Chains A and B, each alone.
Chain A
Amino acid sequence: MAKERPPKGLKGWAQGRSLWILQFCTGCGAVELPPVMTSRYDMERFGITPMATPRQADLLLITGYLTVKTLKRVIRSYEQMGEPKYVIGFGSCTVNGGMYWDSYNTIKRLDLYLPVDLYIAGCMPRPEAIIEAFNRLIEGIKQGKFNGWIRYKENLRWYKRNQAMIMDIRKWSIDKKLAEEVWREVQEERRKIFEQATVPHVYEYAERISEVG
């Protein structure tokens, strides 16, 4: 079977000009989207419009930090989207954890768990930056540059393994057999990490706080 390739040329142009987005309004980023949608920046001039269900959407917007609990739902939604599908990560939280870099319950790098096509840096990116990203996406789709869903399918095991390290993927994956297999594989490693999580800790800052009152 021929290797799957992203649409290009006329098909790519048509695809890029009718992106329907599924905005998974996590984190703070959702507030930047109303200005992008409405008359000031008006993303509909690019054929981009919000869509209600994952099955009708082409573009998944992850608008900020993701807790593990939300990631489960995001993965489920992503897997339900029809191909071709694209992912944009908003803000530094999706790049390296942002200001939640040492939090116990938010993921740090989105591209470990989902294939991200574009990142928008900033905390939070301004609507101009978002429009800029949409432009690049449209241009890139026309040239057949973005192939996130193909990467996801080809490296499914790698993605599943990363996902399984932080969550119970059995309930949230469409491929149940693979999920079961990978889940069993990572159990030992997970147990170790949880065990080590309790270590004696020195709380020097506690004293400093009482000094300043």
Chain B
Amino acid sequence: MELEKEQAVVNLVKEAFEDAEADVQRARRVRIKIAPNRVFPLVAFLKANGFNHFVTITAVDWIKDGEIELIYHLWSYTRKVHVMVKTRIPRDGGKMPTLKPLFNQAETYERDVHEFFGVYFEGNEKLDRDFILEDWDGPPPMRKDFDTRRFAAEFYGQEDIESDLLKLKIQPYKGKLMQ
């Protein structure tokens, strides 16, 4: 069979976690959906089974469902499979336990997601420190209800570009060019 190693991971996960929905997306890609409180044991289980590269955490704002989807990416050098662990938490007041005890680098990725999506990770001590956006007072900018165009217009005084160009007083150069 073509997708043997991927199917092996799916079976492994399904055996240990009955509540997980796992499927093969394509070659070298496996998706697993699971409830938020089961992410920690699942990632611990994966780590014990060869998935020792914790790649990153990404997030998707599903604004109509009122949920934020967190996606944990893991890679195994022995199995050569990329696993995406997906979970959904409520948009407002949703909390996730930190994965720092398993992978140290999770701390940094969680700070990143916290700043841009406003997700709170319980147990991450550095969460409230400034990371990428220094002294930002507004809402998390990657959430979909953040109107970036309007914000840019108000914050940076950006109006429509054409009239903006006319207002710029750039002096045309009238002297002779040096050769």
A interface with B by C-beta (< 8 Å): 68-69, 72, 95-97, 101-105, 107-109, 111-112, 119, 132, 135-136, 138-140, 143, 165-168, 190-191, 193-194, 196-201, 203
Contact = CB atoms under 8 A, between A and B. Distances in A.
Contact of A194 (B137, B145, B170, B178): B137
B146 interface: yes
B49 interface: no
Interface string B125-136: 000000011110
23 contacts: A69-B132, A96-B158, A96-B161, A96-B165, A96-B168, A97-B152, A103-B152, A104-B146, A105-B133, A109-B168, A111-B168, A112-B157, A119-B170, A136-B173, A139-B176, A166-B156, A197-B138, A197-B139, A197-B147, A197-B150, A197-B154, A199-B150, A201-B145
A201 B168 CA distance: 32
B177 interface: yes
Contacts of A105: 133, 141
B178 A108 contact: no
B147 A166 contact: no
Contacts of B173: 136, 140
B135 A167 contact: yes
A102 B148 contact: yes
Nearest to B138: A194
A111 B161 CA distance: 15
A111 B176 CA distance: 25
Given A101-B158, A108-B156, A109-B156, A193 B151 contact: yes
B64 to A, nearest CB: 8
B175 A191 contact: no
Contacts of A103: 148, 152
B79 interface: no
B175 A140 contact: yes
A136 B170 CA distance: 14
B152 A108 contact: yes
Nearest to B143: A198
Nearest to B179: A135
Contacts of A101: 152, 158, 161
Contacts of B135: 167-168
A111 B167 CA distance: 12
Contacts of B149: 102
B154 A139 contact: no
